[in-house]
Amino acid sequence: MELLTLFFILLIAAGLGLLIQWLPLRRQPMPTYPQRAPFLGGGLPETHAWSRFHVRYYPMTLLLIAFEMEMMFMYPWAVVFVEQGMKAVMEMGMFLAILSVGIVYGWREGVFKWQ
């Protein structure tokens, strides 16, 4: 019964949402084809815009390791940090120094540049 009520609520909510979207648009025709063409300052595209674009997964993966994975190791480290004291700080410092070499390398290669 409760499930049915929830279902009706969902139906009414979705119906209302669609109605609100449909009402103002009901008498408007689709924009014309020339209006829908991409704006190129009067020019026309020659090829279709369905072009494959490389996301460059490899640098993304390296960045994930450089920024996220070190955080993962820092959680257990934080637990034993008080027991171990200075030794833990030194070890984590070395670990972060090695990882930051990767970040500096990535920076030099321009992976942080928004493209």
Partner 1 sequence: MAVSWLSRLAAQSSVPVFPVRGIQGEAALHRLTLTPGVELVDSPRHASILLVAGGVPPDQHDALRRVHDQLPNPFATLWYRSEPLAELASATRVDDPDALPGTLMTAHQELMRGKRGSSPRLLPDEPPNPWEGLGDDGHGGEGMMGGVPYGRPMAMNMHDDIRDGLTLDSLTVTLGPFLPMLPPGLGAKVTLQGDLVQSWITQHAPYPIALESVFLEAREHPVPIAELELARARYHLQRLAFALRLAGLERLALESLRLAQGLSPDSRLEGLRRRLTRCGFFRLTTTGRGWLDETLARRVGGVAARAAGLEEDLRSQDAAYGRLKFTPVVQSDGDTNARWCQTLAEIEQSLQLARQAEREGLYSETTEAIETPRGPWGEQRPGDASGVIDDLLPGLEWDEAMTTLASLDLAAVSEWPQDVTQELGEAPGDGADAAEERRA
Judged by CB, which is closer to partner 1: 53, or 75? 53
Which are the contacts of 38, defined by CB distance < 8 A and separation ≥ 6? 45, 49
Judged by CB, which is closer to partner 1: 22, or 33? 33
Query: Shortest Cβ distance from residue 6 to partner 1 (Å)?
Result: 33
Judged by CB, which is closer to partner 1: 5, or 35? 35
- The answer to whether the beta carbons of residues 74 and 92 sit under 8 Å apart is yes
Paired tokens of 107: 């920076």
Rounded Cα–Cα distance for residues 76 and 78 (Å): 5
Which are the contacts of 92, defined by CB distance < 8 A and separation ≥ 6? 74, 77
Query: Shortest Cβ distance from residue 111 to partner 1 (Å)?
Result: 12
Interface with partner 1 (CB under 8 A): 31-35, 37, 39-54, 56, 115
Query: Shortest Cβ distance from residue 55 to partner 1 (Å)?
Result: 11
